[in-house]
Structure 1
Amino acid sequence: MTMYMPLFRSCTTLRTLTQLHAHLVVSGLHRDPQASTKLIESYAQMGSLQSSTQVFQTFPSRDPFMWGVLIKCFMWNRHFHQAISLYQEMLHREVGMNGFIFPSVLRACSGCGDLGVGRKVHGRIVKCGFDSDAVVETSLLGLYGELGCLDDAWKVFVEMPVRDAVSWSSIILCCVDNGEASEGLEMFRLMVSQGVVPDSVTMLSVAEACGKLAFWRVARSVHGYVVRREFTKDESLDNSLITMYSKCGDVQSAERIFRYFTHWHTASWTAMISCCNQVGSFSEALDIFVEMQESKVEPNSITFMCVLLSCVRLGLLKEGKSVHCFVIRNAVDPDFDFLGSALLELYAEIGGLKYCQKVLNMIGVRNVVTWNTIISVYGQKGLLREALSLFVEMHTQGLMPDSFGMSSALSACGKMGLLELGHQIHGHIIKRGYSDEFVLNSLIDMYSKCGILDSAYIIFEKMKHPGIITWNSMISGFSRSGNSVMAISLFDQIYLNRLEIDEVTILSVIQACSELGYLEKGKWVHHKLITYGVRKDLYIYTALTDMYAKCGDLRSAQGVFDMMVERSVVSWSVMIAGYGMHGEINAAISLFSQMLDTGMEPNEVTFMNVLSACSHAGAVEEGRLYFRSMRDFSVEPNAEHFACIVDLLSRAGDLNGAYDIIKSIPFSVDASIWGALLNGCRIHQRMDMIKSIEKDLLDIKTDDTGYYTLFSNIYAEGGNWEEFGNVRLMMKGIGLRKVPGYSVIEIDKRVYRFGAGDIPLPQMKEVYSFLENFQSLTHGQGIT
């Protein structure tokens, strides 16, 4: 067999390899396990896995090494599922295991994102006694690191009897890739202190950690260490240093390294273009690309990804198309494996979905990155159903979505309220063992938007070290669902534990205070904003204005409003609404006039707030005026505007005018509009009008219990108990019941919420005792 080894090396085409295979068959050497194993490997290297499999299947007695080679061949060619299936077949046939097999299987598990199978393989490794094999253990580190399981990776590392430079490099890479760059630098310090000499691979991860943390001083030290250890001849490391400096914002140092090169390679140019992109110098990035072409250095697909990003950020569609044409003419990426996602991003941002569709048609075999980009693009454009259809199609084609794909799909489920599909994706996440914070945050957000706060909170509580994004998701979920007490309680936990607080946290807690009317807490949050010097964010100051207005402190609301350097249409609308809800009609109208004087165009919310102000004050003529003027500002009245003007007229007794407006509505009239007229009839005792429009009122299909309750109460007030019973039966028939009310009370600067039958307070017995005593006292004094 040894004499044929040079022949295998001389086979440069599939044809010559096939001829050699035929010669081996004729000579009978194909029965030699070494020859067959070499054939399997050679066919796979030339892309013919079918021939590799055929050689494997026709060999009579396959040893573990041959199984391991075929598994490795499938893994090389990114056929991860087939590699795992082959390993499982080995187990089923009870073929003996060796240490050579496990690294390939573990790599296949990380390649398809199957943590569940990876853990089982780990168990088999321990059972077979290969858990002290340095290569196998390093492969385990890679598996857990790539799938975001840093705790598991750390456990493997700690239990390793001997830690060489490769294992140290692996754990440092795990830390850096999983968002623990500081931990990665600490591991590097320990590595050096224990006398283990790092290699250039280690320094690649260390440079990346410095870049992610933007630690300029540490970056300079790392650069000095690289120079002292004479790693500078490593081109990959030089390029990493350029990227490190770019992330630290030091373009001059990055360019010095770049200009120091005697021979600039494609990777060097690409690193410099990426450096300019990192600091937002997109025009300079394109200038360097032009310089690169003038130097006759051929760009690669990564170069073009960076150039396309520059085009996207500068909004250069024409130049982006030129790059696209260059890629096609020069066959840089024939199957668009790398550039497909970059082109999709280009056209999604500054082109249009029609261009995206053309790119999709050009892409042959879509990889996970491409699928994720497509799903994300459709989600961003509001095509949520299409995004989810693509997610399902991706799964049916055997591709395992990564955390990015999962998060995009969960986001679409949350926005559409598709709880069942969200449950299915959650099950898939559990099965595959995803545990990174990005996916868990998306699950919390999905359940929150679907109104299942219990499930969201269970996930939140199980997280060991939730970051600020997770806290914000949970606070926002409670606030959005109306449980503002819990939202504020979570904020208090963040503050007491001295965790990081950002603008989103502040915005969420202000909105919670606003919903509760919790003025004291709102003032406290405002005070902390001033104390900590948080920047004057437009959204936060608008939320503060809204909070003070809803809590009845119009003076403070106006004070915050006056402090705003810039005001959006939302800011003006919020302040107008504040005056309107407290009956300050003149102030609301005056503010609306000031808004128009500044050149700010009112929108439908602004007009809604003005009409609501007129309704609160009973200003009928002003309401009519502003309602008629909406179209002058290109604002078409919607159902809420019609409901408001009908309510204004009905309360004022102009029921015929309100009815005329209803008849003029160009779309289907909903329960809110009829309900406004119905309430006016109740106030002014116009049972005759109710009788004349009874059919219209009964034809309404709605799940608004307030509408039916109002309807039934009018019949009860008129003594028509038969019709009262009919309406109540109608509610019962369609599964509606009156929504119970609740009260909010502030005790010792804490807010408690409770409804009828609830016993949420430990002091509830004392409350009931006080009420009984108070009732006895008032009766004794003749007070009713």
Structure 2
Amino acid sequence: MTLYMPLFRACASLRTVAQLHAHLLVTGLHRDPLASTRLIQSYAEMGSLESSRLVFDHFHAPDSFMWGVLIKCCAWSRSFEGAVSLYREMVRQRKEITRFIYPSVLRACSCSGNLGAGETVHGTVVKCGLDGDDVILSSLLCMYGEMGSLRNAGKVFDGMSGRDVVSWSSMISSYVDNGDPSGGLDVFRSMLLQGFEPDSVTMIGVAEACAQLGSLCLARLIHGQVVTRNIESDDATLNNSLVVMYSKCGELSSAEVLFNIATCRSAASWTAMISSYNQSGRFREALDVFLEMQESQCKANSVTMMAILCSCARLGWLREGQSVHCFVIRNAIDPGYDFLGPAFIEFYADCGRVHDSEKTFMIIEERDAVSWNMLITVYARKGFLEEALSTFLQMRVQGIIPDSFSFTVSLWSCGSMGFSQLGCQIHGFVMKSHFQKGFVLNALIDMYSKCSDVDSAYRVFLEIQQKDIVTWNTMICGFCQNGYSLEAIHLFDKMYSNGFIMDEVSFLSVIQACSQLAYLEKGKWVHHKLIIHGVRKDLYVDTALTDMYAKSGDLKSAQSVFDSMPEKTVVSWSAMIAGYGTHGQIDIAISLFNQMVQMGIEPNDVTFMNILSACSHTGSVEYGKFYFGLMNSHGVAPKLEHFACLIDLLSRSGNLDEAYSVISSMPFPADSSIWGALINGCRIHQRMDIFQIIQRDLLDVDTADTGYYTLLSNIHAEEGNWVRSRKLRSTMESAGLKKVPGYSLIELGNRTYKFGAGDISDLQMEEICKQREKNLQNLEAE
């Protein structure tokens, strides 16, 4: 058999391996374990893992070494599930598992995202007494780090007796790659204190940590360490990392100096400088560097072209991007579009050429999850939500396993379209695929909330063991969006009592909840906490505070917050106008509107809605007609709600003929809100003549508005037409429509309680009765 080993090494194609395989079959040497093992390896090296598996399956009683080689070949060929499956089969058949098998299996567990399988393998390693093997421990350390299990990675690291610079570097990278750069720097400090000398790989990880923190002071300290210790890398990788580090810390001049003094500039060096200019928003300079790179005769690679495509996309330069595309084709850079395909999809989409994005997707030879995800994201970002979901389903039909990103974008699309049924099916697939990562579960909460299924959203929330700030914010926002304001406030209180560091999104949601309830005292408490927590000044939060104070009747505080805003948008002005209008101060509302226009801020449809509502509240008919007529001059086309507000204003003031004339001239059919406003005016001013004229129009109205049916029924009852009145009530009942019951709110201590007619909840009634008795005693004492 040893005579054939040089032949195996000489095999340069799949065909020559197959010919050698045929010769071994003829001579009977295929029964030799070493020959078959070498065949398995040769087939895998030539890209035919299926042939490797066939050789293995047809060999009688393969030994442990052959199993290990096939597992390693699966890992090489990115058949990670296959490698894990083979390992499990070895365990089931009680095969001897040698120590050289474990690194390949752990690598497969990491790349397939199967943390559970990796933990099981770890347990087996401990049982077999191999937990002292440095190679296996290094593999475990890498696996846990790559899958974000820093706690387990730390335990493995702490248990290593023979730590070297490689294990220290791996631990630093684990923290940095999982978004904890401070933790990575702490490990680096411990490494230095224990007397270990860092190498270029260590410093690359540390430089990335500084880049993530954006700390220029730390960046200079780390650069000083590199210079003082005379640490260099053979391929200038460390210098490239320092260039990127300085650019991310906002010190582009230092990045330029490092790039200019580099004695050997590789493609990676040029790419690092191009990326640095992109990072700083200097996209033209990035393109200039690329031209210099071409003049230096340095060949660009796929990463370089991706950076250049980013420059063209940010500048919106379609023609230049198309030239880059031609350059890629002409120089045969990534012929199968396996790497650059997603970048071209995104570039064409950013330039408004979604059709070209689709064409690029179709020419990608091997479409993996990244390519599918990019097309799904393009559709979702451009508002083609049905196409995004259809592409996700096609991805599944093609047998591509979605990843966390696929699930997140698809769930967002489902939520935006209200497709709760499809969202629920995706939820089931998420659970079966074990993709219960934080951002996927947060996307599920968001999807259910947008589909008005708050109960399901809350169930997902409760099932999450480790809730981060995004999880809490998503659920609070979900409650608030669906009118569960009290629940939103109570959840915020729980979040606060648990000691979470809250951000502007947390405060924004709870302020909106207070605004919906006009809960002034709680709103003031939240405002106070917002200040003492040092939450940065935020336009949206300030606007929400203005709206909350205005709706709660504290116009002085609303005006104070509004005046303190360094920047005011049309939303901010609209909120303040609505506050004064709701409380009948029409003159101030109009003055604010005029100030806004004078400052060059164009009013939108909400602004006009607010000013029309202010006119309606005060019965200012002439003002209302004036501002309704002003809408077109500001480029705002009146919508149904604007017409409804004008009709309500005219009807309440008794101008019913004019109101009916406006309805007749509308560019679209009137809905129940508009007819309801006119009907109510007819009832108030006893204009049954108009009511008789419009009765035929009322028959065409299809609505689920119970107030509309109730109003009609009451009018018919007042006229003595009991048959018609009862018929309308029956129509409501047959359609399953019920009048939404009113409720009251009462504040006791630091909590708000909600109750309606006939509500005898023991807890609430006991509290209310106690407060009532206390108030009566105080009155008697007076």
TM-score (norm 1): 0.89
The corresponding residue for 1:370 is 371
Cα deviation digits, residues 555-604 of structure 1 (max 9, x gap): 44334444444432223322222222122223333333333334433222
1:357 CA drift (Å): 1.8
Contact 1:115 1:434 in 2 (8 A): no
The corresponding residue for 2:515 is 514
The corresponding residue for 1:422 is 423
Q: Give the number of the structure with larger relative contact order, counting CA–CA contacts within 8 Å between residues 6 or more apart.
A: 1
1:332 CA drift (Å): 0.7
The corresponding residue for 2:203 is 203
The corresponding residue for 1:45 is 45
1:349 CA drift (Å): 1.9
Q: Is the deviation greater in 85-94 or in 204-213?
A: 85-94
Matching of residue 281 in structure 1 with residue 282 in structure 2: yes
The corresponding residue for 2:30 is 30
What letter matches 1:328 in structure 2?
I
1:467 CA drift (Å): 3.9
The corresponding residue for 2:266 is 265
Q: Is the deviation greater in 45-54 or in 262-271?
A: 45-54
Sequence identity, in percent?
Answer: 59
State how 1:684-723 maps to structure 2 within 5 Å: 684-686=685-687, 689-690=690-691, 692-718=693-719, 720-723=721-724
Q: Is the deviation greater in 230-239 or in 195-204?
A: 195-204
1:224 CA drift (Å): 4.1
Cα deviation digits, residues 114-155 of structure 1 (max 9, x gap): 445545555565666655554444434433333333334444
d(CA) in 1 for partners of 2:31 and 2:652? 98
The alpha-carbon distance between structure 1 residues 756 and 334, as it changes in their structure 2 partners (threshold 3 A), is farther
Contact 1:115 1:432 in 2 (8 A): no
The alpha-carbon distance between structure 1 residues 654 and 306, as it changes in their structure 2 partners (threshold 3 A), is same
d(CA) in 2 for partners of 1:423 and 1:191? 48
Contact 1:148 1:435 in 2 (8 A): no
What letter matches 1:189 in structure 2?
R
d(CA) in 2 for partners of 1:736 and 1:158? 65
TM-score (norm 2): 0.90
d(CA) in 2 for partners of 1:326 and 1:613? 61
Cα deviation digits, residues 721-764 of structure 1 (max 9, x gap): 54444333322322222222222233445544333455679563
Cα deviation digits, residues 303-360 of structure 1 (max 9, x gap): 1111222222233322222212211211211122221222222222223312222222
The corresponding residue for 1:568 is 569
The corresponding residue for 1:98 is 98
Cα deviation digits, residues 264-292 of structure 1 (max 9, x gap): 11112212222222233333322222221
1:454 CA drift (Å): 4.2
1:302 CA drift (Å): 0.8
1:451 CA drift (Å): 3.0
1:634 CA drift (Å): 3.0
Contact 2:84 2:109 in 1 (8 A): yes
d(CA) in 1 for partners of 2:240 and 2:566? 44
Q: Is the deviation greater in 271-280 or in 217-226?
A: 217-226
Q: Is the deviation greater in 41-50 or in 249-258?
A: 249-258
d(CA) in 2 for partners of 1:539 and 1:238? 42
Matching of residue 177 in structure 1 with residue 198 in structure 2: no
What letter matches 1:471 in structure 2?
W
1:242 CA drift (Å): 2.5
1:300 CA drift (Å): 0.6
d(CA) in 1 for partners of 2:183 and 2:778? 67
Indicate the SS of the match to 2:338. Answer: coil
The corresponding residue for 1:669 is 670
1:80 CA drift (Å): 3.0
Matching of residue 478 in structure 1 with residue 479 in structure 2: yes
Contact 1:580 1:588 in 2 (8 A): yes
Contact 1:577 1:609 in 2 (8 A): yes
Indicate the SS of the match to 2:65. Answer: helix
What letter matches 1:308 in structure 2?
L
How many positions carry a matched residue from both structures? Answer: 779
1:647 CA drift (Å): 1.6
Indicate the SS of the match to 1:337. Answer: coil
What letter matches 1:677 in structure 2?
L
1:8 CA drift (Å): 2.3
d(CA) in 2 for partners of 1:773 and 1:548? 30
Q: Is the deviation greater in 341-350 or in 460-469?
A: 460-469
Indicate the SS of the match to 1:514. Answer: helix
The alpha-carbon distance between structure 1 residues 118 and 358, as it changes in their structure 2 partners (threshold 3 A), is same
The corresponding residue for 2:214 is 214
Contact 2:361 2:371 in 1 (8 A): no
The alpha-carbon distance between structure 1 residues 285 and 615, as it changes in their structure 2 partners (threshold 3 A), is same
Contact 1:418 1:450 in 2 (8 A): yes
1:414 CA drift (Å): 1.9
The alpha-carbon distance between structure 1 residues 225 and 600, as it changes in their structure 2 partners (threshold 3 A), is closer
d(CA) in 2 for partners of 1:253 and 1:627? 58
d(CA) in 2 for partners of 1:728 and 1:633? 44
The alpha-carbon distance between structure 1 residues 56 and 375, as it changes in their structure 2 partners (threshold 3 A), is same
Matching of residue 311 in structure 1 with residue 322 in structure 2: no
Q: Is the deviation greater in 298-307 or in 416-425?
A: 416-425
d(CA) in 2 for partners of 1:533 and 1:131? 47
Indicate the SS of the match to 1:386. Answer: helix
State how 1:525-544 maps to structure 2 within 5 Å: 525-526=526-527, 537-544=538-545
The alpha-carbon distance between structure 1 residues 166 and 703, as it changes in their structure 2 partners (threshold 3 A), is farther
1:26 CA drift (Å): 4.1
What letter matches 2:173 in structure 1?
L
The corresponding residue for 2:396 is 395
1:241 CA drift (Å): 2.7
Cα deviation digits, residues 419-470 of structure 1 (max 9, x gap): 2333333333333433543333323322332334444445445556644433
The corresponding residue for 1:437 is 438
d(CA) in 2 for partners of 1:450 and 1:193? 55
d(CA) in 2 for partners of 1:464 and 1:756? 39
The corresponding residue for 2:344 is 343
RMSD: 3.4
d(CA) in 2 for partners of 1:128 and 1:414? 49
Q: Which runs of 5+ in 1 are unaligned?
A: none
d(CA) in 2 for partners of 1:648 and 1:704? 20
Indicate the SS of the match to 2:631. Answer: helix
1:296 CA drift (Å): 0.8
d(CA) in 1 for partners of 2:108 and 2:288? 41
The corresponding residue for 2:292 is 291
The corresponding residue for 1:624 is 625
d(CA) in 1 for partners of 2:774 and 2:695? 47
1:83 CA drift (Å): 3.6
d(CA) in 2 for partners of 1:384 and 1:399? 20
Q: Is the deviation greater in 434-443 or in 91-100?
A: 91-100
Contact 1:115 1:433 in 2 (8 A): no
The corresponding residue for 2:729 is 728
Contact 2:71 2:105 in 1 (8 A): yes
Cα deviation digits, residues 609-667 of structure 1 (max 9, x gap): 22212211222333233333433333222211121122222222333433333333333
The corresponding residue for 2:111 is 111
Contact 1:317 1:351 in 2 (8 A): no
Matching of residue 17 in structure 1 with residue 40 in structure 2: no
The alpha-carbon distance between structure 1 residues 262 and 495, as it changes in their structure 2 partners (threshold 3 A), is same
1:673 CA drift (Å): 1.9
1:378 CA drift (Å): 1.2
Matching of residue 358 in structure 1 with residue 390 in structure 2: no
Indicate the SS of the match to 1:744. Answer: strand
1:298 CA drift (Å): 0.6
Q: Is the deviation greater in 301-310 or in 245-254?
A: 245-254
Contact 1:65 1:100 in 2 (8 A): no
The alpha-carbon distance between structure 1 residues 464 and 234, as it changes in their structure 2 partners (threshold 3 A), is farther
The alpha-carbon distance between structure 1 residues 338 and 524, as it changes in their structure 2 partners (threshold 3 A), is same
Matching of residue 145 in structure 1 with residue 148 in structure 2: no
The alpha-carbon distance between structure 1 residues 642 and 374, as it changes in their structure 2 partners (threshold 3 A), is same
Cα deviation digits, residues 24-77 of structure 1 (max 9, x gap): 344433322112211221222122334323333333332232233223223222
The corresponding residue for 2:74 is 74
Indicate the SS of the match to 1:665. Answer: coil
Indicate the SS of the match to 1:745. Answer: strand
